[in-house]
Structure 1
């Protein structure tokens, strides 16, 4: 993993970099908030270890900026502040974990691996097509943050189409997914369900294109 270490204590920064490198990761170290923001603009990272007490920009402010911008980068916060309100504030701002100084580098490395696994697992359960998001775990869908009120078969159709964006899904495949326990389904029934789904995606969601005699395609 590429890990950005934001820590102004030089000996601690070197120790963390050595620990991550020994574990097979690629650490990048910076000593200020401004340098951290510059690194994040210049390249992609798998995780960030963020000290709160930085000399220029407070770590909480960096955390808040990233989350406001929509970043889902896994972030583990480091701090010497052991007051409960500080810990709660960091988690509420979007920190994935909170480690108090002093700590063992091996424990920190394990916590970083854990938050990355959690984020990757969440991403695996999410389908995103343009402004549309489908949460496969909860069975919820939204367009641009607008929740979609879907019937069970509409949700099944959307899930199938969203898993193959810009690709044609045959009518036979949709019928098999939407009506697994029914031997014969009228073509008009499928059209009705897809038509309802198409209307619910409008005006700001992806469109469902009908390819007559073939099937449907979800166009981002």
Structure 2
């Protein structure tokens, strides 16, 4: 899952991005409103964490611009501006959540999970498909109650497909979710990850199918022709 962190406080941005990356998220960071608007328009993100007091362009202006462009990416406002009227304004402009500084990191991560779960149309933190179960809280897979060990990049790919089981995910969307600004992923690299993941899923009654010319989707192996 890919997050855009918009924060002009360098120390906070570095600390927060390190924590989120440690939790398995792909995190890109920008420090001003104009860059946030440009990047969020050009790239695909699962969540935008948006400060309000930004140089070049205020966070609320960024939010208003994105929603005017029909950009429906989940947005969490993270700001020191905690007055009730500020909260109301941010939510009315289209923010999905509003958290004030200082904040507890465990609460932030819990709110992130809620937003990502909502984006995927899920009500529970536990999702089951085929022979696997996925826990959104720990971001881990298990089979019959036992942990399933999967390398980080393949795990991120499986998570993306698992939360959209049965639905085609384009190669472009996969690259967008798995690669940050400093990572270069080619379609050929994605094909290699898919191939490795297929082998790992054989023991769990699942497979990754190809939608030719479009992308991939997760399906039960029993239905494989």
TM-score by length of 1: 0.53
Q: 1:1-220 alignment to 2 at 5 Å?
A: 1-121=1-121
- Looking at both structures, which has the greater relative contact order when contacts are Cα pairs under 8 Å and sequence separation is at least 6? 2
> Deviations along 1:72-125, whole A, 9 cap, x unmatched?
101000111121000000000010000000012232122112112112218xxx
> Deviations along 1:15-66, whole A, 9 cap, x unmatched?
1101110100010011001111222233211100000010111100111111
Residue pair 1:34, 1:57 contacting (<8 A) in 2 also: yes
Report what 2:220 is aligned to. none
Question: 3-state SS of the aligned residue for 2:5?
Answer: strand
The unaligned stretches of length 5 or more in structure 1 are 123-220
In 2, Cα distance between equivalents of 1:104 and 1:19: 12
Report what 1:162 is aligned to. none
In 2, Cα distance between equivalents of 1:87 and 1:27: 25
Report what 1:146 is aligned to. none
The number of equivalent residue pairs is 122
In 2, Cα distance between equivalents of 1:104 and 1:10: 18
Question: 3-state SS of the aligned residue for 1:121?
Answer: coil
Structure 1 moving runs of 4+ over 3 Å: none
RMSD: 1.2
In 2, Cα distance between equivalents of 1:72 and 1:18: 26
In 1, Cα distance between equivalents of 2:105 and 2:26: 15
The unaligned stretches of length 5 or more in structure 2 are 123-225
Residue pair 1:19, 1:106 contacting (<8 A) in 2 also: no
Decide which structure has the larger Cα Rg and report it.
Answer: 1
Question: 3-state SS of the aligned residue for 2:120?
Answer: helix
In 2, Cα distance between equivalents of 1:25 and 1:18: 10
Residue pair 1:49, 1:78 contacting (<8 A) in 2 also: yes
In 1, Cα distance between equivalents of 2:16 and 2:30: 12
Question: 3-state SS of the aligned residue for 1:39?
Answer: helix
